[in-house]
Amino acid sequence: DEFGQIDILVNGVGWVDTPWGLFREQTRETWEKMINLNFWSTINCTRAVLDHMIERKYGKIINIGSEAGRTGEYRQVVYSACKGGVISFTKALAKELGRHNINVNCVCPAGVIPEKAEHAGELTMTQGVSQENLPPELKERQIKMYPIGRLAVPQDVASTVAFLASDVASFIHGQTVSVNGGYSTL
């Protein structure tokens, strides 16, 4: 009530505090945590605002997917499946909501690593790792995966989200936008 209505919803969750590991070595508890965080949260938050957006005939829903959801990533089986689900959820929901003037899009970042340690909190996906404290050999190996020649920072994703949230992007609907420095070219 303090801030009024919700016109723009950004479902921006990423897994937290779950081990990267082989699918067969992860527990059902780990899978459930990843599914709850990375997929159910998007569905639940979207449902919570939907009736109000439909009533006002206006809204923007921007879901944060992942390149892992587009390509599938080694040692990220359930995470990849969840983010693939977010992408499909976005596309299907866009077909339902376009007639209500509600734009629905998905932003898929590749790995995003904050530049400074103070921007890489323990509860973030990078769990305290930043570009300034990343071991040089690992940073160099990571950079080689991106044709653009650098690692992504949060502002790269935030700028794309801000654009999609603006009325300038009112005809962009049901799309999956990669923010990946050329990591994959789907």
Which one of 74, 79, 146, 183 is the catalytic residue?
79
Active site residue 79: yes
10 Å CB burial of residue 63 (0-12, 13-18, 19+) is buried
- The span from the CA of 58 to the CA of 56, in Å, is 5
Q: What is the DSSP string of 86-126?
A: HHHHHHHHHHHHGGGTEEEEEEEE--B--SSGGGS-TTSTT
* Contact between 8 and 59 (Cβ < 8 Å): yes
- The span from the CA of 41 to the CA of 52, in Å, is 18
DSSP structure class, residue 152 = B
54, containing H or E segment: helix 41-56
**The token pair that represents 92 in the structure block:** 């299907």
- The span from the CA of 118 to the CA of 120, in Å, is 6
DSSP structure class, residue 26 = S
Beta strands 102-109; 8-11: pairing state: unpaired
Query: Catalytic residue positions?
Result: 79
